Amino acid sequence: MSENGKKSPKKEEKVSRQTTEAIYAEMVNCSQSGVSSINAGRADIDHSGIGLLKAQNVNQTNCGNAVVVARNLKTGSVRSLITISDNIEGDVRTVLDKKGAAAFGVVFAAVFMFFRIIRRLCFR
């Protein structure tokens, strides 16, 4: 534990061919694994599935992610639901990009308003 009560990160964490709940380290190497969440300064990930990836610098190859938040992202064939990054190099296929998020918002608002109008008409 550090002085302010927060858990300090490990220096380096290596994960290979296993499933892990959460990793909090300065440097993470992950290969052929499934990880619920990663919080790191630098992450090198290969052939793995990650739930939430939060790091300053990320290097990924052939991975699937739910959410990626990174300052610098270098990829090779990565699929993600949501990707937030300042710099992206490589192939990232994102389900929810800016256009997709806008379309989702419009459809959600339309469906919400439809049910609200129906409710008002039925319960006067």
What pLDDT digit, counting tens, does each position of 12-29 carry?
888 899 999 899 999 999
Looking at residue 4, what is its pLDDT? 53
Residue 73 in tokens? 């992202």
Contact 36, 22 (CB under 8 A): yes
Looking at residue 2, what is its pLDDT? 46
Q: What percent of the chain has pLDDT over 90?
A: 60
**Amino acid (one-letter) located at 87:** N
Positions in the chain short of pLDDT 50: 1-2
Report DSSP state, residue 6: P
**Helix, strand, coil % (nearest 5) of the chain?**
20, 60, 20
Round to whole Å and give the CA distance between 76 and 78: 6
